Amino acid sequence: MEKIFEQIRNIGIIPVVKIDDAELASPLAKALIAGGLPAAEVTYRTYAAEETIKRITKEFPEMLVGAGTVINVTLAKSAIAAGAKFIVSPGFNPEVVDYCLQNKVPIIPGISSASQVEEALSRNITVLKLFPAEVVGGVKMIDALSGPFSQCMFMPTGGVNTENLSEYAKRKNVLAVGGTWMVKEDLINGKQWQKITSICKEAVLNLQGFAVGHIGMNAKGQDDARSFAEQFALFGYSANEGAPSIFSGTEFEIMKGNGRGTHGHICFTVNNVDRTLYYLSKFGYKPVMETAQYMGEKENSPMKFVYLDKDINGFAVHLKKN
């Protein structure tokens, strides 16, 4: 189960698909993969759901396919037999939850209250779907639940879109988000596969939340670094000196020696370092693990900082949780 949840975390957005014609399953899957979202939660809101799951799982083994709107055990059995790797329900149905647990199938039940979270925890379930997310409080609800239920991760669904995606993604207790905006019915029925791919690519980039944190520059030593800092002060950037470097404002870091990179480094802040590493791995980037720092004491906790193995024009690059 943990591997499935890790995949969901890495992908970050699970397209929630309502499809009326299973013949459209294959081109839809191709469009999602091309857009960088090799996943789908196929909802049991049409009779084509079972056949759609069968086709995608058979033709595209690289896709992570789950079943959504699973509101009873009969639908759960159908989804599992069709090849669904995980089950999602809009609410907390004990019969569905228990059936999935008994059959060792990952289940993400829907919750909208603290009481339902407690009911999930009584069954050792810590990955939950917040639904309908925007209606029940959105990111404010996510933040409120993080206090008493710090062990839980949520997949908010319902009202998530391009505009609020990054706000959800930066929350430490958000595993991923679910959404329909890239796979709306009219796009699927109109066979607008390139449009779907384009929307997916935009969503994947927005999910990362890339922003320049600061620019680092290498100096020859302490005196050289202080000289640079004095020059930045002329432009209104006050110096804050530390042991390894001097920050001029928050935008520039002057190293008291040769740090990583020929000239220095660039810090990119991101919503989730682990998820961004997955995204960048598709473009040949790897983390330099000896530089990694974690949000918890253990290395299996979320990462908060790491350098990448490739420079950009003589500047090393590191990621930092925003």
CA distance 212 to 196: 29
CA–CA separation, 16 and 176 (whole Å)? 12
Q: What does the alpha-carbon distance between residue 310 and residue 318 come to, in Å, rounded to a whole number?
A: 10
CA 118, 124, 126, 128 torsion: positive or negative?
A: negative
Residue 217 contacts residue 253 (beta carbons within 8 Å): yes
Tokens encoding 262: 């020929």
Q: Where are the alpha helices (DSSP H) in 60-189?
A: 73-82, 94-102, 114-121, 138-146, 165-169, 185-189
Q: Which amino acid is at 195?
A: K
DSSP bridge partners of 213: none
Structure tokens at 133: 């997310």
Q: Active-site residue numbers?
A: 41, 129
Q: For tokens 């089950």, name the residue.
A: 87
Q: Where are the alpha helices (DSSP H) in 40-163?
A: 49-59, 73-82, 94-102, 114-121, 138-146
Q: Give the pairing type, strands 153-154 and 127-130.
A: parallel
Partners of 264 in the β-ladder: 217, 315
φ/ψ (deg, to 5) at 246: -120, 125
Q: Using a CB cutoff of 8 Å and minimum separation of 24, what contacts does 236-240 make?
A: none
Q: Which class for 1: exposed (0-12), middle (13-18), buried (19 or more C-beta within 10 A)?
A: middle
Residues 6+ apart with CB under 8 A from 227: 219
